[in-house]
Amino acid sequence: MRHQHRKWVPFFLLSILYIFGIMMDGGINLVNSEPIENIEADLVWSEVETEDYEIYFSSLRNGQWSAKTKLSNHRAMDLLPSVGSGIDGTIWVVWFAAQGSISDLYYSVFDGENWSIPEMISTGFSSNTAPSVVVDNNNVPWIVWAGFDEEDDDIYFTRWNGFGWDSPSMVNMDNTTPDIIPVIKIGQNNLPWVKWSGYDGKESKSYISRWTGSKWSEELIEDIENINQSLISISEYLISDLPEFVGSQKLATIHIKSNGERSTFRIREVMEESEDDNNLDILQKQIEIQSDGKTIIGYGDSITQGIPYVADAGAGRRIGGYEPDLEAITRRVLGWNTKVLNYGFGGESSAAGLSRLGNQTLGKHNAKYVLILEGTNDLIYYGISVDSTLYFLGQMIDKSRAFNVIPIIATLTPDTKSPKNNIPADYNPRIKDLALRKNCALADQYAATISNWPSLTDDGLHPNIAGYKVMAQAWYDALPELTVVTLDASEIDETSVVMNGRINLKGYSTRYFFEFGETPDFGTQTNTENVGDRKGEVSVSISVGNFSDNSIYYYRLVAENDFIKKNGNIMSFKTLEKPSKKACFIATAAFGSSLEPHVVALRTFRDRYLLTNTLGKKFVSFYYKKSPVAAKFIRDHEVLKVMVRVFLYPVTWYVQFIVNISSWMKLFFGSAFVILFPGFGWVYLHNIISRKNNKNAKLIA
């Protein structure tokens, strides 16, 4: 909870006041002039015990903390307890116990001598998290919590009626966005009021509702009740000097009774007041990064921040755990002048991350990608359900796209520090499903790190240097980048060509086509083909026709996936010139007429066997480029005409003969023809073999 009207009082200053008070009159003189011996406090917290979390209690009486007492004892993650006490001294403790995605409320009562056996509070909801309890002046406990109604989390309350708990009733206005992390207190009119966090479609806001005596008032934007300043100062002092047996202070709640006043504080929220002030200084010192369109934003909690190597919020600086390594990879492999900016904020929830994502992050840079890893802290530290975490992650994806930044979402990294965590079973499968539903790129950071996690972490939660290097590679592998190269065209003839290219895929479904035209502006494209979602280098080709002969065309390969479109380099080719249909130049020169039977036979062979395949076309094209000069020389010399006719007689007889024989005979004589007339005969033999193979293929089919 945020108290915007007050400033944080540093712990060391209170300690000085405490020492000064002892020196002056033998007792501490706090804001309300209350000696420490007269202050009573009840402390509850979650603590890891072998296989799961358990709930513990300690009380401050006469300036001394009692030994810790274990309240819970069942195989579940017992988390985020809240404590309150009445005027009669009865102490009520409530918490939630999570088993996978299912969580229930439990409570235990101290009657002055013994703690009751924990009992479950029946709510009818599959998820019940972040409870808060207060005891009114009639010694009646009131409980509020976030309950999931199969659509979203809402704030519910119940109270003790002397025999059991009332049926749950909703506090907030019913809508489709999560309402989470409630806290209940007694107001100055001795009636309860509830404050919680809700999302208005743009950011998280604090809402409040008051008990009117018969129902809850309409929710309002935070209009916080004044909380006794002396209790705030006392809580800050006590937090600075908690018993050593309290493991994680941020999992604790303290209930203070002083001078007739009572109030409960979540220690995490009190401590975050100081941390927020410190991080505010860092945020105000952000360096404006001039982007060339290759900026990547790392966004998340302490894992993105780079703990233990980066102590403060990233605030857009080029520092971090994985960020420097990712920057180096993209510069080396992609040739980018990359800047990877660290916007990690240690300890935050996904709800806070959603509010922080906006103009001061995405809006400050012309970023291409934002890498989102949020949710690790949600359940244990904030009591945010898995369903609400998924909602906030989905909103981050949508908000990123609204800023024209491509989001990449990550599965949560392993957490062996917390026993029975439900990251692999409940969070990550649903994060993968969210990425699929939102058509969002996914970096499976859990899969990348789990097999070697003991060597990739020092504390079980945060990666070490080696772990951050693995994360950087996993982020790079998830970038939906495409390497597209246009290659030389092949099988070029007068009217058709095969366009070729190469695509380096990253595992995302990819499509491609070729653009082409008589200028580098193209104007025409082929049909789109799909190469699937493979990884690695893939060669692609498309055969295109209807070109003009003897013409230059420009073309390039274009590939795209659901996230980006990439153009290849521009290449060109020139179609072959169509051979003249009028004559075979040398034969016509030798025999004197294009209608002479021997010339007609050669022309028929050309049209039937040479112009029907690529190799033959190339031979004919070569012949028509070179033969006119020779034909002119022959035409001017009668002796040469006779010699050429003598040479062509067996050729013309041969081509006339093979037109009318079987395919196998053509193959035999074609082989002989290759030996006798290597250039001319080889083209013919190639044609016969191709036809034979095609015929056999049809028979097999």
- Which structure tokens are listed for 540? 């692609």
Question: Does residue 213 sit in the same domain as residue 341?
Answer: no
SS3 361: coil
Choose the final residue of a domain: 436, 452, 478.
Answer: 478
Whole-angstrom CA distances from 377 to 1, 55, 251, 302 are 17, 18, 11, 9
Question: Does residue 658 sit in the same domain as residue 626?
Answer: yes
SS3 491: coil
DSSP 219-261: PEE--PPPPPHHHHHHHHHHHTT--TT---GGGEEEEEEETTE
**Domain-embedded: residue 432:** yes
Angle of the 638-659 helix axis to the 597-605 helix axis, nearest 10: 50
SS3 557: strand
- Which structure tokens are listed for 191? 């009636």
Choose the final residue of a domain: 452, 478, 504.
Answer: 478
Is residue 135 within 8 Å of 94, Cβ to Cβ? no
Residues with Cβ within 8 Å of 65's Cβ and at least 6 positions away in sequence, in order, are 43, 58, 59, 242, 243
Question: Does residue 529 sit in the same domain as residue 464?
Answer: no
Determine phi and psi for 625, rounding to 5 degrees. -80, -35
Instruction: Count Cβ atoms below 10 Å from residue 58 Cβ, excluding itself.
Output: 20
In this structure, what CATH number is given to the domain that contains residue 531? 2.60.40.380
Question: Does residue 517 sit in the same domain as residue 409?
Answer: no
Whole-angstrom CA distances from 99 to 17, 109, 155, 191, 238 are 45, 23, 21, 34, 33
Question: Does residue 91 sit in the same domain as residue 212?
Answer: yes
CA-CA distance, 211 to 224, in Å (whole number)? 14
Residues with Cβ within 8 Å of 91's Cβ and at least 6 positions away in sequence, in order, are 42, 59, 83, 84, 85, 109, 110
Question: Does residue 58 sit in the same domain as residue 142?
Answer: yes
- Which structure tokens are listed for 516? 């082409």
Number of domains in the chain: 4
Q: Residue 489's closest CA among 516, 512, 510, 511? A: 516
Residues with Cβ within 8 Å of 524's Cβ and at least 6 positions away in sequence, in order, are 515, 516, 517
Predicted pLDDT of residue 292 = 52
- Which structure tokens are listed for 174? 């019913």
Predicted pLDDT of residue 271 = 80
454-481 burial, b at 16+ Cβ within 10 Å, e below that, comes to eebbeeebbbeeebbbbbbbbbbebbbb
CA-CA distance, 19 to 34, in Å (whole number)? 14
Q: What is the 3-state secondary structure (H, E, C) of 290-342?
A: CCCCCEEEEEECHHHHCCCCCCCCCCCECCCCCHHHHHHHHHHHHCCCCEEEE
| Global model pTM greater than 0.95 | no
**Domain-embedded: residue 30:** no
CA-CA distance, 402 to 367, in Å (whole number)? 13
**Domain-embedded: residue 14:** no
Question: Does residue 474 sit in the same domain as residue 488?
Answer: no
Could you say which residues of the chain have pLDDT below 50? Answer: 1-32, 277, 279-280, 282-291, 582, 664, 674, 679-686, 688-689, 692-701
Question: Does residue 470 sit in the same domain as residue 515?
Answer: no
Choose the final residue of a domain: 238, 262, 286.
Answer: 262
In this structure, what CATH number is given to the domain that contains residue 202? 2.120.10.10
Question: Does residue 297 sit in the same domain as residue 413?
Answer: yes
Question: Does residue 96 sit in the same domain as residue 168?
Answer: yes
In this structure, what CATH number is given to the domain that contains residue 356? 3.40.50.1110
Question: Does residue 395 sit in the same domain as residue 424?
Answer: yes
Q: What is the domain range of residue 152?
A: 38-262
Question: Does residue 495 sit in the same domain as residue 467?
Answer: no
**Domain-embedded: residue 592:** yes
Residue 288's H or E segment, with its range, is none
Predicted pLDDT of residue 228 = 60
